[in-house]
Structures are given as C-alpha cells and as structure tokens.
C-alpha cells in the first residue's frame, strides 16, 4: 500500500476502529473482490470484539497493494458505511449528498458527552415510546 494510504489508515485508526462495522457484509465484500484472503477473513472473524476486528482488518489492509485502499472504499460504500469513507477521505460520497448529516460521524465532543452520561441517559430512555420529553438533572 502507498505510504499516503497506509498513513491515512494508521492516523485515523482509533476513529476507524470505533466506526467500521465488519459484521454487515464488509468482510464478505472484501473477500469476494479478493482484497483479503480466506485466511485473513478467518483471522479477523476470530478476534473477540468489534474494535479488535476492525483493528485487525486495518493491519491486514496496510500490508496489501495500493489497489486495496480503493477496493476498501468501494466495499464501505457497498455496505452502507459512508461515515467511514468520510473519515478516510474527508469527502462525502456523491451518492450520499442528500444524506450529508448521516455521512459525517458524530463529533468527538458529542460522542464523549453521550458516553460519559450514558448511565444517566439510559434512565430517561423508553425504548418502546422514544426518549422522554422531560429531562431533569439530579
């Protein structure tokens, strides 16, 4: 893989590991386009958690030829992950222009606010009827 593409994968690795969904057909797409081998696929699937699977996928992709980067972008598109494409390219896919807000990952500030306050937020969530209309801080 080119130094530029490899750097893009490594610089964004933390964020990519958080957002890549390897379980929605991404690995099958990469396998069918021969970006990854059957052995790579088995290795990735054997990882215990989502982050570990994504991390292993990125490590494997970094060892492939440069065409693998574009094939990875195409596989992300095919599996409905324009937010990951945005992390890698900084651009919103022309096919997702109408869904621009859905394509951009949540800001780090908002992500932290949700994760830090998840216990308190879960008290007010009604999974059958949606979020509570009234929120009061303790």
pLDDT given for residue 130 in this prediction: 59
Task: Report the half-sphere exposure of 96 (CA within 13 A, side-chain side).
Answer: 20
Question: Measured between alpha carbons, how far is 44 from 37 in angstroms, rounded to an integer?
Answer: 11
Which residues, 6 or more positions from 77, have their beta carbon under 8 angstroms from its beta carbon? 85, 93, 95
Kindly indicate the confidence band of residue 125, based on its pLDDT and cuts at 50, 70 and 90.
low
pLDDT given for residue 96 in this prediction: 46
State pTM to two decimals. Answer: 0.70
pLDDT given for residue 90 in this prediction: 85
Question: Measured between alpha carbons, how far is 114 from 138 in angstroms, rounded to an integer?
Answer: 17
pLDDT digits (tens, 9 = 90+) for 47-60: 999 999 999 999 99
In the chain, what are the domains?
Answer: 3-103 (1.10.533.10)
pLDDT given for residue 61 in this prediction: 97
């Amino acid at each position: 893989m080119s130094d530029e593409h490899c750097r893009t994968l490594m610089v964004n690795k933390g964020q990519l590991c958080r957002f890549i969904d390897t379980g929605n057909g991404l690995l099958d797409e990469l396998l069918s386009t021969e970006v990854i081998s059957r052995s790579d696929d088995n290795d990735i699937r054997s990882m215990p958690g989502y982050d570990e699977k994504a991390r292993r996928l990125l490590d494997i992709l970094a060892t492939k030829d440069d065409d693998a980067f574009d094939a990875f972008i195409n596989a992300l598109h095919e599996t409905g992950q324009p937010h990951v494409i945005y992390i890698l390219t900084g651009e919103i896919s022309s096919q997702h222009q109408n869904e621009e807000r859905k394509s951009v990952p949540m800001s780090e500030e908002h992500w932290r606010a949700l994760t830090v306050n998840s216990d308190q937020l879960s008290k007010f969530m009604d999974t059958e009827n949606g979020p509570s209309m009234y929120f009061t801080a303790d």
